[in-house]
A and B are shown apart, each in its own frame.
Chain A
């Protein structure tokens, strides 16, 4: 089955700086890579996704890149704000979603 590894497990950044989270996956059949943000006690919410036929996607301050050859994908958050503080999960999808272990992002004011 699919195995998704996510790094780092925790990330502390100064407000206004960038944050980068990296994930690797094992199954070359995976073709969809979503990122979810989960605030404390809440359900995960999709923030951005990318499909295997695209190398990069951007939505305002967040962007995702995908390298299918190397089987890794990354989330980039620029100009971080306190409301970006949350746990972020990557996932790789074939017929089921396999999640990374999560990254706790703390934005220091």
Chain B
């Protein structure tokens, strides 16, 4: 069954802790993206990767880091430098313009 798998679906962390959100795809897509969504707001681009071992900052990259060591995987680390990390995080891959989204990870920092 092809698709994008994000984990965990829900995550609670204490302030000051780094957390890593997993994103795996078996669609064989080169491009992958991380978006952040806050209530009542649109999707804001954090990082994107167009090919393995390469990634670029999006519009709100501060306080986040990524890696792209394998085509299938694009994990996102939310560091303690991110001032307001509580949000819904969406990972996506892209083919011919269309984005295929994972189900999202909801991070709550206590």
A residues lining the B interface (CB < 8 Å): 1, 6, 32, 34, 36, 42-46, 49, 51, 89, 91, 93, 95-102
CA distance A8 to B99 in the complex (A): 24
Chain B interface mostly:
strand
Overall SS of chain A's interface: strand
Range, interface on chain B? 20 to 34
- The digit string for B32-65, where 1 denotes a CB below 8 A from any CB of A, is 0101000011111100101000000011000000
Contact between B99 and A97, CB atoms less than 8 A apart:
yes
Smallest distance from the beta carbon of A66 to chain B beta carbons, Å? 14
Interchain pairs with CB closer than 8 A, number? 47
A44 adjacent to B98 (CB under 8 Å): no
CB-defined interface of B75-103 with A at 8 Å, one 1/0 digit per residue? Answer: 00000000000000010001001110111
